[in-house]
């Protein structure tokens, strides 16, 4: 495995999602070289059986999908992760606006 300084963990802020049903994932950004960064999504223990073992790896006692996206730099990778988190906020707003019933539960 690469040096730990080549990795950056991005954990969502619990306070931002305290009252939401849909929680976002945490992510790991790996610096492969100066122009290649890879985003990995953390996989919860309950999800482990949903993925082939060759698609997962362990880093600091957490499991991650081996690769979900490539970016040219760390800043872009961070923006991608923030975008994923914003999408989860939007899903939660949609769910609340539907009242947790109707089309959402189909």
Per-residue model confidence as pLDDT tens digits over 37-80? 999 999 999 999 999 999 999 999 999 999 999 999 999 999 99
pTM score, whole prediction:
0.84
Would you say residue 73 lies in a domain? yes
Would you say residue 56 lies in a domain? yes
Would you state the pLDDT for residue 101? 54
Cβ(76)–Cβ(37) under 8 Å? yes
Task: Give whole-number Cα distances, 76 to 16, 26, 37, 85, 89, in Å.
Answer: 22, 16, 9, 14, 20
Would you say residue 51 lies in a domain? yes
Q: How confident is the model at residue 7 (pLDDT cuts 50, 70, 90)?
A: very high
Instruction: For residues 17-43, give the mean pLDDT.
Output: 93
SS3 content of the chain, % helix, strand, coil (to 5): 40, 30, 30
Would you state the pLDDT for residue 53? 92
Give the domain extent around 82. Answer: 4-101
Task: Give whole-number Cα distances, 89 to 28, 34, 50, in Å.
Answer: 20, 32, 24
Would you say residue 106 lies in a domain? no
Greatest extent of the chain over all pairs of C-alpha atoms, in Å: 49
Would you state the pLDDT for residue 103? 56
Greater confidence, 69 or 19? 69
H-state helical runs in 37-103: 74-97
Q: Is it the case that residue 104 has pLDDT exceeding 80?
A: no
């Amino acid at each position: 495995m690469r040096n730990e300084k080549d990795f950056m963990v991005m954990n969502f802020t619990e306070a931002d999602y305290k009252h939401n049903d849909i929680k976002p994932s945490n992510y790991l950004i790996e610096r492969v070289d100066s122009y290649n960064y890879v985003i990995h999504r953390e996989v919860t223990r309950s999800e482990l059986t949903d993925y082939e073992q060759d698609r997962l790896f362990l880093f600091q006692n957490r499991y991650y999908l081996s690769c979900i996206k490539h970016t040219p730099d760390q800043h872009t990778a961070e923006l991608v992760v923030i975008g994923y988190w914003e999408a989860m906020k939007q899903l939660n707003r949609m769910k609340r606006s539907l009242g947790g019933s109707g089309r959402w539960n189909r």
